[in-house]
Amino acid sequence: MKKMDTSIRWTRSAAGSRSMWVTLLLSMLVTASILSCVPFSSGLPSVSQPVTTSAASPTPVLVVVTPTALPEGVIAEAAAEELLLINIYERVNPAVVNIEVLGPAPAPFGDDLFPEGEGSGFVIDKEGRIVTNNHVVEGAEELQVTFYDGTIVEARVLGTDPYSDLAVIEVDLPAQLLRPVSLGDSAGLRVGQWAIAIGNPFGLEGTMTTGVVSALGRTLPAESLFAIPEVIQTDAAINPGNSGGPLLDAQGLVIGVNTAIRSTTGTSMGVGFAVPVNLLKKVIPHLISEGRYDHPQLGIRGITISPLLVEELDLPVGTGVLISEVTANSPAEKAGIRGGSREVSIQGRLVREGGDIITAIDDQSISQFEALLSYIVMNTEVGQEISLGIVRDGEEMVVKAVLGPRP
């Protein structure tokens, strides 16, 4: 019985081993058959056949970058700036108006009035007085003013001043419906501080633009040979229709009256100009009470002394204003101030030499003609006596002159 058990175990064992070898042999044959159909590379090129490869296209990897959240302090600062601008707009925009100049329509349209031009303005008191530019209302037969809430009323001109390009018009509305602006101070302005304009560019009412004060002390041509001094330059967008609107600081105070742009296209190119509010403060009270303002004048034409002039004309000083011409019957002529006596050409430019050189006014040094103009316009009145420090024939002296009105 034991012998039979051993035979059976062995038989079964032998049968399993033989089956395993048969299976292994068949697997090797199948594998060889498959490999014979598939290109095989051993890492070295074959001598008899060229190596063929198939470059698989790489699967693109999509990387999603999630921006890091800004610090809460930065977000809070940006939100505070937004709230400041919103607050300024909501406080000041009710004072800003759209001004339409109306004129007679062409004959086929009967007696209707048609818009001839438009600009902006802003309410300055509860009596319904509105400041704008002279060039907005100059020659207007009828004016129509539209307020921020859609209220439309007629207006009349109280006074105009072409020399400062300022004007005052008046509307008849209850005081409780008027929300005047607050005036700031243009004397302490600094380049880089905020400048905010509100107006009606291209007739788009209630438009706010922001920027900075980009330069100070510009002069802007006005009527005749005179110029507006201390003009504010800004990169806030100023376009046709903004004229007469307010330029504001970060407190919402008026620092200027938007007046002009410098552009080759007629639209904003980042260089706008505003009449300084301190000139407005001098002119507007007279326009309200008298309808006009008499600007003080000395009655001279002059040129800023440059190193080139010093060299070419052998001038005795390096800075100041060389007087080229004195106006007849002017304060300067009455004070005995002398203009140039002969013309010379300097690099193609005619210059009158031989005149007095102004170096100071009321003990303040003067190095540019613009500074002399600015002092007279911003700090003096008609009938006021001034002291001029001058150099004549190499000698320093002081001359007194009483300022008169511009013609």
Q: Which of 243, 268, 324, 330 is catalytic?
A: 243
Q: Which residues of 131-164 are buried (b: 16+ CB within 10 A; e: fewer)?
A: bbbbbbbeebeebbbbbbeeeeeebebbbbbebb
CB count within 10 Å of CB 405 equals: 14
Under a CB-based contact definition with an 8 Å cutoff, are residues 309 and 324 in contact? no
Does residue 165 contact residue 259 with C-beta atoms inside 8 Å?
yes
Torsion region of 241: left, alpha or beta (phi above 0 gives left; psi -120 to 50 gives alpha): left
Give one word for 231, left, alpha or beta, with left for phi > 0 and alpha for psi -120 to 50: beta
Q: What's the one-letter identity of residue 89?
A: Y
Task: Go through the chain and tell me how many residues it has.
Answer: 407
Instruction: Tell how far CA 355 is from the center of its chain.
Output: 40
From the candidates 135, 161, 235, 356, give the one annotated as an active-site residue: 135
200 burial (CB, 10 Å; 0-12 / 13-18 / 19+) is: buried
**H helices within 48-100, ranges in order?**
72-92
Q: Mark whether 243 is an active-site residue.
A: yes
Cross-strand bridge partners of residue 218: 231
Q: Is 379 exposed, middle or buried (0-12, 13-18, 19+ CB in 10 A)?
A: middle
Answer yes or no: 135 catalytic: yes
Concerning whether 172 is annotated as a catalytic residue, the answer is no
| Distance separating alpha carbons of residues 375 and 327, to the nearest angstrom | 19
What interhelical angle do 277-289 and 369-379 show, nearest 10?
Answer: 40
Positive or negative, the CA dihedral 211, 217, 221, 224 is: positive
Half-sphere exposure of 208 (CA within 13 A, CB side): 18
Catalytic residue among 161, 164, 165, 295: 165
Active site residues: 135, 165, 243
